[in-house]
């Protein structure tokens, strides 16, 4: 509440609509600039009026009707928000139910005429004399918001780095603003929204007006700063000159003095309990909150301290028929808040005093005219014990005698129904504002949810990309391992083939050498071709691998599997000698013997093997062949003898027949 009681010493703009309508196009206004002594008059457009207010920043912009400057409540709130911090909008004709400007001007002795320029001058002079109600829609708190100056958007592969940079810039600017507020000694609350890499925004709620804050609106690079005053629940009116309503006062004296202030409608206005304040300080505290018409105590008779307070306010006294019991005081104050028993006792005294006078207050209010203040009438009725009619007649005479010479504009007391309507309207506006706040919270949460969902989508996309990369890396590693194994196998095979080639070359040289050109160390050696088994397939494989030719020395590692066809296949080759391991079948042995192919045990010849290649000494081979030939002679002789014996046996058998 504004505590001024003297005239202003600053510039006042008085305005009244000259032509047109604020709801239409291009209204014009009569403008009077009043500095307390000099008056400057002009007619300006709405745009020029706003520009002049912005340039000169007057202390008051005064009008007889605030809706001459704004078409509706929303436009009025916008106007109030756009005014300079030093400028207040004042409606000089009152609050919710304004009086005619002519009546207010007449009551305060201000010249008046129906011309717009004269009405603008009357408004300026009345406001300069502290007449009127300040129109306000904002508190003295300010929100300073530090936020992103750019959208994080889609940054491709660099999106994370781009977002982190912006959020880091917001956090850095937040710290700078916080340092400036601390340096200015301002009280504030900070609410920061943390995001990836820093802050997405931070809101400072500062206990000061924008003009007192060392930060201004700006937009620079990755950050921006927005400054906005905190709105009230609705439009409020505050008198330019402090108004002191009539109240009831409850007092509980003692080491701790407690005081309760209750309005004439039974509403608890304020409570005080103190151990240090003296009587004068208590009186000063009460005067700031109203003019007591009743001073009450919770005991009877009234304590001397309470009686002194009653006399200092020239108010009526109230005490109960007997001391108020504790349970009754607790019951009467059950719906009110208090900090200690002393405040409870003072509050119980004031509320019980209201209960005792409630019917009387209602009767007085019913008789008081609509534009007459009820509190002043009640004060005189209780203090002087006069009738309501006498007080009203006396006050009417006083008003008539002072017509045109008063210096204070007093608003009439609202009726109970009007107060109820006002409270309900304020509650509706408060609830609507709360609903708007909730909608804003929902929108903010939706925005945060959308950001989280976007981050989750990005994280999932990044995870899928990394999973694909991991799978591809794993596949390539497996393929690389496979190729390395194949390469190693091929290298081994190449080495094996190279060795085999060298051995084949050596064997070829040995096979085709005439021994005259061969070194002495190779003399007396003969190649041996090794075959694993005495089978057709093994003979064919050996022939394909290193070739079988006539007069070869052939070594069978296992000669036990030979049959007729196998022996005949070997006969086709025509080897020089066959060295065998294991027993040779009778059929194969007979076929080889029949074709004159020597067969000798492998033990008779020392064979030196290198992989598939082998060599033996020529002398040992010749000895094995010679041994077979000796045995062959004996075998042929035996076969001839057996044949002769058979012929003789058959001949004798024929003669017998």
Does 136 reside within a domain?
Answer: no
For 548, the domain range is 520-649
- Band the pLDDT of 324: cuts 50, 70, 90: very high
The mean pLDDT of the chain is 83
Q: In this structure, are strands 12-19 and 60-63 parallel, antiparallel, or unpaired?
A: parallel
Q: Would you state the structure tokens that stand for residue 260, as one six-digit string?
A: 């309760």
Do residue 335 and residue 469 come from a single domain? no
What phi and psi, each to the nearest 5 degrees, are found at residue 155?
-110, 15
Does 7 reside within a domain?
Answer: no
- Band the pLDDT of 74: cuts 50, 70, 90: confident
> How many structural domains is the chain composed of?
5
Instruction: Report the CATH number at residue 92.
Output: 3.30.420
Helix (H, G, I), strand (E, B) or coil at 589: helix
Does 492 reside within a domain?
Answer: yes
Residue 18 has pLDDT above 80, yes or no: yes
Final residue of a structural domain among 203, 238, 273: 238
Residue 145 has pLDDT above 60, yes or no: yes
Instruction: Report the CATH number at residue 324.
Output: 3.30.420.140
Residue 517 has pLDDT above 50, yes or no: no
Residue pLDDT, tens place only, 357-369: 898 888 888 887 7
Instruction: Report the CATH number at residue 147.
Output: 3.30.70
DSSP state of 385: -
| The predicted structure's pLDDT at residue 242 | 58
- Average pLDDT of the segment spanning 127-136: 87
Q: How far apart are CA 533 and CA 569, in angstroms?
A: 13
Do residue 526 and residue 627 come from a single domain? yes
User: What torsion, rounded to 10 degrees, do the Cα atoms 431, 433, 434, 435 define?
Assistant: 90
Q: How far apart are CA 294 and CA 317, in angstroms?
A: 6
Min mean pLDDT across 51-65, 71-85, 389-403 is at: 389-403
Does 306 reside within a domain?
Answer: yes
Q: How far apart are CA 123 and CA 34, in angstroms?
A: 10
Does 470 reside within a domain?
Answer: yes
Do residue 446 and residue 573 come from a single domain? no
Does 4 reside within a domain?
Answer: no
Do residue 314 and residue 356 come from a single domain? yes
Residue 155 has pLDDT above 70, yes or no: no
Does 6 reside within a domain?
Answer: no
Residue 502 has pLDDT above 80, yes or no: no
Do residue 481 and residue 526 come from a single domain? no
Residue pLDDT, tens place only, 189-219: 999 998 888 898 999 999 888 888 898 888 8
Do residue 204 and residue 338 come from a single domain? no
* Cα–Cα distance list, 100 to 14, 93, 116, 607 (Å): 16, 7, 14, 142
Do residue 506 and residue 556 come from a single domain? no
Contacts of 261 (CB under 8 A, 6+ apart): 247, 248, 249, 268, 269, 270, 271, 286, 289, 290, 350
Rounded percentage of the chain residues whose pLDDT exceeds 70: 88
The separation between the first and the last C-alpha atoms of the chain, rounded to the nearest angstrom, is 168
Do residue 490 and residue 386 come from a single domain? no
What phi and psi, each to the nearest 5 degrees, are found at residue 461?
-60, -40
Q: In this structure, are strands 316-318 and 291-296 parallel, antiparallel, or unpaired?
A: parallel
- Average pLDDT of the segment spanning 281-286: 86
Residue pLDDT, tens place only, 176-190: 999 999 888 888 999
- Band the pLDDT of 370: cuts 50, 70, 90: low
Q: How far apart are CA 319 and CA 566, in angstroms?
A: 145
User: What torsion, rounded to 10 degrees, do the Cα atoms 367, 369, 373, 376 define?
Assistant: -40
Angle CA 332–337–341, to nearest 5 = 70
Final residue of a structural domain among 346, 378, 402: 402
Residue 71: Cβ within 10 Å count: 14
Do residue 148 and residue 94 come from a single domain? no
| The predicted structure's pLDDT at residue 498 | 85
Do residue 164 and residue 217 come from a single domain? yes
E strands along 240-346, which residues?
Answer: 246-252, 257-263, 268-274, 291-296, 316-318
The answer to whether the CB of 292 falls within 8 A of the CB of 264 is no
Residue 388 has pLDDT above 60, yes or no: yes
Does 501 reside within a domain?
Answer: yes
Residue 93: Cβ within 10 Å count: 24
The answer to whether the CB of 129 falls within 8 A of the CB of 239 is no
Do residue 73 and residue 35 come from a single domain? yes
3-state secondary structure 496-521: HHHHHHHHHHHHHHHHHCCCCCCCHH
Q: In this structure, are strands 246-252 and 525-533 parallel, antiparallel, or unpaired?
A: unpaired
- Average pLDDT of the segment spanning 517-539: 74
Instruction: Classify the phi-psi angles of 355: left when phi > 0, otherwise alpha if psi is within -120 to 50, otherwise beta.
Output: alpha
Final residue of a structural domain among 493, 512, 531: 512
Do residue 58 and residue 91 come from a single domain? yes
Residue 102: Cβ within 10 Å count: 15
Q: pTM of the prediction? A: 0.41
Tokens 């009754």 -> residue: 328
| The predicted structure's pLDDT at residue 157 | 46
């Amino acid at each position: 509440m504004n505590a001024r009681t003297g005239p202003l010493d600053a510039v006042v703009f008085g305005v009244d609509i000259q032509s047109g309508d604020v709801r239409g196009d291009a209204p014009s206004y009569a403008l009077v600039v009043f500095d307390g002594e000099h008056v400057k008059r002009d007619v300006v457009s709405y745009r020029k009026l706003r520009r002049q207010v912005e340039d000169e920043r007057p202390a008051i912009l005064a009008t007889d009707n605030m809706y001459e400057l704004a078409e509706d409540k929303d436009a009025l709130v916008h106007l109030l928000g756009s005014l300079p911090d030093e400028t207040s909008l004042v409606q000089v004709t009152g609050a919710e139910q304004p009086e005619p400007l002519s009546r207010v001007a007449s009551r305060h002795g201000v010249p008046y005429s129906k011309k717009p320029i004269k009405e603008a001058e009357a408004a300026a002079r009345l406001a300069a004399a502290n007449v009127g109600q300040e129109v306000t829609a904002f508190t003295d708190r300010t929100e300073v918001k530090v936020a992103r100056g750019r959208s994080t958007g889609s940054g491709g592969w660099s999106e994370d780095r781009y977002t982190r940079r912006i959020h880091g810039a917001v956090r850095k600017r937040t710290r700078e603003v916080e340092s400036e507020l601390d340096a200015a000694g301002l009280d504030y609350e900070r609410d920061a929204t943390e995001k990836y890499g820093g802050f997405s925004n931070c809101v400072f709620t500062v206990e000061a007006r924008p003009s007192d804050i060392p930060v201004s609106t700006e937009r620079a690079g990755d950050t921006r700063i927005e400054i906005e005053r905190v709105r009230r629940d609705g439009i409020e009116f505050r008198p330019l000159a402090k108004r002191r309503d009539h109240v009831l006062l409850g007092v509980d004296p003692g080491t701790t003095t407690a005081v309760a202030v209750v309005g004439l409608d039974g509403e608890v206005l304020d409570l005080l309990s103190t151990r240090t304040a003296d009587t004068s300080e208590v009186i000063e505290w009460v005067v700031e909150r109203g003019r007591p018409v009743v001073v009450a105590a919770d005991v009877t008779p009234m304590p001397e301290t309470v009686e002194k307070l009653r006399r200092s306010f020239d108010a009526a006294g109230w005490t109960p028929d007997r001391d108020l019991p504790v349970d009754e005081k607790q019951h009467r104050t059950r719906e009110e808040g208090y900090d200690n028993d002393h405040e409870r006792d003072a509050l119980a005294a004031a509320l019980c005093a209201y209960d005792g006078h409630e019917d009387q207050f209602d009767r007085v209010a019913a008789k008081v005219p609509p534009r007459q203040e009820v509190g002043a009438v009640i004060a005189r009725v209780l203090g002087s014990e006069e009738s309501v009619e006498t007080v009203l007649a006396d006050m009417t005479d006083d008003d008539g005698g002072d017509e045109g010479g008063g210096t204070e504009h007093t608003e009439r007391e609202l009726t109970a129904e009007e107060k109820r309507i006002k409270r309900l309207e304020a509650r509706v506006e408060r609830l609507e504002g709360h609903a708007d706040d909730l909608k804003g919270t929902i929108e903010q949460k939706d925005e945060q949810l959308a950001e989280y969902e976007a981050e989750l989508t990005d994280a999932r996309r990044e995870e899928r990309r990394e999973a694909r990369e991991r799978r591809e890396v794993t596949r390539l590693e497996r393929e690389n391992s496979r190729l390395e194994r194949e390469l190693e196998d091929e290298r081994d095979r190449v080495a094996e083939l190279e060795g085999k080639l060298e051995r084949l070359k050596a064997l070829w040289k040995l096979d085709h050498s005439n021994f005259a050109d061969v070194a002495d160390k190779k003399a007396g050696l003969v190649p041996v071709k090794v075959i694993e088994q005495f089978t057709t397939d093994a003979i064919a494989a050996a022939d394909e691998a290193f070739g079988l030719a006539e007069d070869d020395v052939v070594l069978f590692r296992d000669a036990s599997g030979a049959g007729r066809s196998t022996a005949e296949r070997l006969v086709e080759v025509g080897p020089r000698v066959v060295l065998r391991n294991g027993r040779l079948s009778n059929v194969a042995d007979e076929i080889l013997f029949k074709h004159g192919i020597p067969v000798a045990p492998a033990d008779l010849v020392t064979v030196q093997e290198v992989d598939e290649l082998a060599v033996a000494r020529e002398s040992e081979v010749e000895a094995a062949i010679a041994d077979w030939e000796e045995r062959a002679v004996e075998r042929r002789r035996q076969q001839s003898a057996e044949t002769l014996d058979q012929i003789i046996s058959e001949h004798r058998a024929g003669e017998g027949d």
